[in-house]
A and B are shown apart, each in its own frame.
Chain A
Amino acid sequence: MSKRTMRFKVYRYDPDRDAKPYMQELSLELEETDKKLLDALVKLKTKDDSIAFRRSCREGVCGSDAMNINGKNGLACLTDLSSLPDEVTLRPLPGLPVIRDLIVDMTQFFNQYHSIKPYLVNDTPPPERERIQSPEEREELNGLYECILCACCSTSCPSFWWNPDKFVGPAGLLAAYRFIADTRDQDTNARLDNLEDPYRLFRCHTIMNCVDVCPKGLNPTRAIGKIKDMMVARAV
């Protein structure tokens, strides 16, 4: 089988050296063993070791290598090279400040995540073994707890682009519902109060880019809808 040659256009920007960002063009001959985009990126780095990107687990668990691949956010380690055309454009996640090349500053993203108190709040004395949930109660957490905080969703959300300081964003809201839905948590009302705001929750206009890009196949829009349902149930 003939070897495949791919052309990459990579967003380059080093604030210490470059006056403005530019796109670097590189071509790469792939081996049979190169399966994922991350494999290609690692090879590109051997060609030009100044290219900067984050990576760690290389199997879609750590969420480090999220980037904009041909205009759509995704994880390099989960993106099959066979699913990509011969020419691939790689940019950093949109909407966040660029630290260097494909690495973005995720402070705003994590500030929003921390703002929803992503931990169980329960002031009752812990039982001897564990806080029991029924299988049905546990089932409600499926599709919520799997988020790896890669920021693909929030950085593809126009509402997050316009108000990253005020709108919690799809990842944060998915996590918020994960704790609102958890029967072991006692802070439900305070959590709903925390989101009852025209900016924090209601900037979501159901654009659903988040659902489209989530590399784990999660559905933040549905979680946001459930938060709204609970607010309605509380108010009406």
Chain B
Amino acid sequence: MVKRNVVGAHYGLRDWIAQRATAVYMVLYSVIFVLVSLAIPSEHLSLRAVLTAPCMRFLTLLFFLTLCYHAWIGVRDIFMDYVKPLGLRLALHVAAILVLIGYAAWAAKILLLLGA
């Protein structure tokens, strides 16, 4: 590859908005979760019952998905700033994506099994 300084990936704005939108959703969900937790008796079964409700299950799943997307943008920002070798940066990006997809799938599985 010729050593030229190349920029122009054209996805900066999308991720910048997504980072903010996911942050807002996570704050809203956290507030809802805290309020709901305070409103119910503090025991495992009532919390389980709340999270089993379809509406709450959907909101919780959405929370974990937005968390993973938010984390992906943040972690990639760190790699962009501090990891200079191109191959290593690409490998770290792939690793971060795989780990976050794994986390999201794991969270989805737990939430789906709650209803079983």
Closest A residue, CB atoms, query B82: A162
Most A C-beta atoms less than 10 A away, residue of B77, B80, B82: B80
B16 contacts A203, C-beta separation under 8 Å: no
B81 contacts A196, C-beta separation under 8 Å: no
B42 smallest CB distance to A (angstroms) = 38
- B17 at interface, CB cutoff 8 A: yes
Given known pairs A228-B16, A231-B13, A232-B17, the reply for A200 and B7 (CB within 8 Å) is yes
Given known pairs A202-B15, A228-B16, the reply for A197 and B82 (CB within 8 Å) is no
Please indicate the chain A residues that have their CB under 8 angstroms from the CB of B16 in the complex.
Answer: 202, 228
Given known pairs A162-B81, A163-B81, A228-B16, the reply for A199 and B10 (CB within 8 Å) is no
Residue in A162, A166, A205 whose CB lies within 8 Å of B7: A166
- B12 at interface, CB cutoff 8 A: yes
Given known pairs A162-B81, A162-B82, A163-B80, the reply for A198 and B15 (CB within 8 Å) is yes
- Complex Cα distance, B82 from A39, in Å, reads 40
B13 contacts A228, C-beta separation under 8 Å: yes
How many chain B residues have a CB neighbour from A under 8 Å?
Answer: 16
- Complex Cα distance, B8 from A198, in Å, reads 8
Please indicate the chain B residues that have their CB under 8 angstroms from the CB of A203 in the complex.
Answer: 80-81
- Complex Cα distance, B15 from A217, in Å, reads 31
A198 contacts B17, C-beta separation under 8 Å: no
Among residues 200 to 220 in chain A, which have CB atoms less than 8 Å away from a CB atom of chain B?
A: 200-203, 205
Closest A residue, CB atoms, query B5: A165
Among residues 1 to 56 in chain B, which have CB atoms less than 8 Å away from a CB atom of chain A?
A: 5, 7-17
A197 contacts B81, C-beta separation under 8 Å: no
How many chain A residues have a CB neighbour from B under 8 Å?
Answer: 22
Given known pairs A159-B81, A162-B81, A163-B81, the reply for A199 and B13 (CB within 8 Å) is no
Please indicate the chain B residues that have their CB under 8 angstroms from the CB of A196 in the complex.
Answer: 10, 12-13
Total A-B pairs in contact (CB under 8 Å)? 47
Say whether chain B's binding surface is mostly helix, strand, loop, or mixed. Answer: helix
Please indicate the chain A residues that have their CB under 8 angstroms from the CB of B17 in the complex.
Answer: 232
Please indicate the chain B residues that have their CB under 8 angstroms from the CB of A132 in the complex.
Answer: none
- A235 at interface, CB cutoff 8 A: yes
Most A C-beta atoms less than 10 A away, residue of B13, B14, B82: B13
B7 contacts A199, C-beta separation under 8 Å: yes
B5 contacts A166, C-beta separation under 8 Å: yes
Please indicate the chain A residues that have their CB under 8 angstroms from the CB of B80 in the complex.
Answer: 163, 198-199, 203
**What would 22 A/B residue contacts be, using CB atoms closer than 8 Å?**
A159-B81, A163-B81, A166-B5, A166-B7, A195-B12, A197-B7, A197-B8, A197-B9, A197-B12, A198-B9, A198-B11, A198-B12, A198-B15, A198-B80, A199-B9, A200-B7, A202-B12, A202-B15, A202-B16, A203-B81, A205-B77, A235-B14
